[in-house]
Every structure is written in C-alpha cells, then in structure tokens.
Amino acid sequence: MTHLFVRRNHVGVCFSGALIVRIWGLLLCSSLAALAQSAPPSNIANPPLSIPAMHLLGMKDTKRNCYGTLSIQDNALQFRQRGKPSAQVNTTSIQAIVLGSESKQVGGVPMKLGKAAAPFGSGRIVSLIAHKKHDILTVEYVDSDGGVHGAIFQLAKEQGELVRDSLKARGVSPGSDEDRSTKRSTTEVMDESN
Amino acid sequence: MKAISRTSTIICVAAIAMVLVALPAQLAAQAVASKSYDRSGGPAMQWSIQVNRVDAGDEELPYFFQVAIYENLLEELNKTEQFKQVFRDGNRNASGVSSLLVLQTTIEKYVPGSETRRAVTTVSGATKLSVRAQLLTRDGKVVIERKVNGNVRFFGDNLRATQNLARNIAKEIKQGRWDLANAPSPGNS
C-alpha cells in the first residue's frame, strides 16, 4: 500500500509539474505570437519602395531632367541622383499626388541628330516608332513656411501607381485633379493614334 | 587761311572727343536709372511678389502642366531680379510684407500637342498655351494685365511650352508699363 501510495504520489507530483510546464509553455508561445503579430505590421504594411525615375523639376537642390532613384522610406519621399546627396520630402507635408501620363520621343539628342542626318527623310519614320509612354507623377507639398512646392517625376509605365499607392498607404491623400489627368491622358492616346 | 582750317580741325576733333567721352557716361546713367526704376517712376526693386497657383479655368490642362508653369514662373521671376523677394503661394512670411504684388495666372486656351507628331510632320502637333497674367496689389487692384502665349512648335517635349510661357510672362512684367496710380506706395503698409 505504502509502495502504491508513494508511487501514486510520485506520479501526481510529476503530472502536476508537467501540467505547469505545459501551461507556461503555452502562455509563452501565445505571448510570443502576439508580440510577433503586433510589432512589425508597420514595416509589412508600408514596405520601403525604390524605383528608377527622372526628376523633371521641383525638388530642392536637384537638377532638372536628371535620372536617379525615387524611394519611399519610413516617412520620407527621396530622390537620389547618382553620387549626390538625396533630396527628400516628408510625407506629412505632401498635400496631393496626381498621376498623369505623357508620350515622349526616346534616344535624346543623339537620336535626334541621327534622325536629322538620315537620308530621304527616313528619320521621320524612325520617329513614328521611337516613342514611349511614361507615367508622370506630380507631388505637391508645403515647406516649413507654408509655401507650396510642386515636384514632377517621370517614371516607367505603371510604376507611378506603385509610388502613389505606397504614399497613400502612408496616409497621403491623392489630389482632386486625378480624374482630370486621366481624362487628358486618354485624349492624348487617341490623339497619337490618329 | 591755313591757320583757320587748322583751328577748325582742332575744334572738331575736340568736340568729337568730348561727345565720345560724355556719351558712354550718359548711357550708363540711363541704364542704371532704367534698372532701378520702372516706367511709372516707382522703384521696382522695392516690391515683392507672390506667385499664386495656376488657375486652369475651363480648360482641361493636366495637373503637371499647372505645377510646371507655377515652378517655372518662380524660377524666371527670380532670374529677372526685378523684385526684392519672390514668395510662393501660401508662404506665411508674405503676409508681413507691405509692398507685395500678387501674380495670378489663368489658363485661357490650351491645345495639347504631340512630340511624335512634331517629329514626324514638323508642321503639326504644336503644344499651345495661352494665359491671362495679372499682377495685383494686395487689395485686388490690377497693376499689369497681359495675355501671354507659350508654345512648343518644333523641338522639345510638351512641358517646354510651360518654360517658354513662364519666360514670356516674366519678360512682360519686366518690360510692361505698371499702373501704380491706385496702389499704395511700397514703403507704407
């Protein structure tokens, strides 16, 4: 009996100990899971974005018509020219973002000279096919004195939406003239197809 | 006889020399006067200007065109060195400036062009902008009002029209006759 009692008692102690360990483990796992769910959602919801772009005008201390990288990190919209410090705008100061589109000739000045030099006006035929449609992203923001600035970027087609959506996710409201720009781009496409 | 002709020659040479010395000095003085004073007699450099955002009016002007005109205007007006300060729309510091003029630009006509069509045909596809530019005093009196055009006809992208337009507006403001009769003098608030 004594032996039985002692054995049963030993089993009971082991059982309760294992139960406590299991409960602690369960609590630890659930709290870790809760911590994992609550800590990084800002990074998952608003991942940093970085895409090649051309700065047309408007960013402070940045050349016009220069290529670089447009990125959104934390709460800043940045444009970095190769080998130069980046110009940035805080997303809280952005008042509007408007997306438009524009068709441009490709190749720059060398292509223009080549087309001009081509015999029998064949350069004109090249012009017919050597054009590309770009997204034009306009960002309107205010400086510390309340003065309104406008920055315009040229992006590859459909890249503008990525930037706009990323800015929207950070609480930037799109501009009211969005519909107007869409309307215009449609008319231009029709115009160019004629 | 010989002595008389020699004397007259000397007098002529002296007169020409005097004219040559006096003329550049007079021209320089005129240039300084025209630079620091506008045609109505008021000192142009005593005024500051605030550039308002572009009003698209009834035209379906793309938003980036409006912003490009606004930004180009600020740059061109700064280049003219006609004004003491050039303020952006909404700048709080402008409210404390007594001698402030406001530039209001309204789109009157916009013809969308196409760079491809220009490159192919040369004669068609021009982008044309026509605006009414008004320089107003703080209480709304018109100091100068002009209809200004900005086009791109042959080379360059469509946005170049905004640059040409801004340059033309700045030129009109610099060269135009200001009606400052009803405006308060720049020193008074």
- For residue A63, name the pLDDT band (cuts at 50, 70, 90): very high
ipTM entry: 0.75
pLDDT digits (tens, 9 = 90+) for B64-105: 999 999 999 999 999 999 999 999 999 999 999 989 999 999
Considering only residues A84 and B35, tell me which one the structure prediction assigns the higher pLDDT. A84
- Taking the Cβ of residue B90 and every Cβ of chain A, the question of whether any pair is shorter than 8 Å is answered with yes
Supply the mean pLDDT for chain B.
Answer: 83
User: What's the CA gap between B189 and B99, in Å, rounded?
Assistant: 7
Neighbouring residues of A146: CB distance < 8 A, sequence distance ≥ 6: B90, B91, B92
A33-47, A180-194, B66-80: which is most confident: B66-80
Residues in A closer than 8 angstroms to B121, CB to CB, are 124
Q: Mind giving me the DSSP string for B122-168?
A: SSS--EEEEEEEEEEETTS-EEEEEEEEEEE-SSS-TTHHHHHHHHH
Question: Do B132 and B105 meet the contact criterion of CB atoms below 8 Å apart?
Answer: yes
pTM above 0.90, yes or no: no
Q: Does B93 touch chain A (CB under 8 A)?
A: yes
Residue B10 in contact with partner chain A when CB distance is under 8 A: no
pLDDT 10s digits, A127-183: 888 889 999 999 999 999 999 999 999 999 999 999 999 999 988 877 654 544 444
CA atoms within 13 A on the CB side of A99: 17
Helix axes B63-80, B160-175, angle to 10 degrees: 40
Pairing of strands B100-111, B48-51: parallel
Chain B hits for A57, Cβ within 8 Å:
68, 71-72
CB-based contact, A57 to chain B, within 8 Å: yes
C-alpha dist (Å) from residue B34 to A173, B41, B45, B76: 48, 10, 11, 20
Residue of B nearest to A144 (CA): B91
State whether A57 and B53 contact (CB < 8 Å). Answer: no
Q: Report chain B residues whose CB lies below 8 A from the CB of A131.
A: 115-116
Asked if B176 and B144 touch (Cβ cutoff 8 Å), the reply is yes
Chain A nearest-CA residue for B120? A124
Residues in chain A closer than 8 A to B92 (CB atoms): 145-146
Predicted local confidence at residue A181, as pLDDT:
47
Where b means 16+ CB within 10 Å and e means fewer, A139-177 reads bbbbeeeebbbbbbbbbeeebbebbbebbeebebeebeb
Quick one: CA dihedral B164, A63, B135, B111, positive or negative? positive
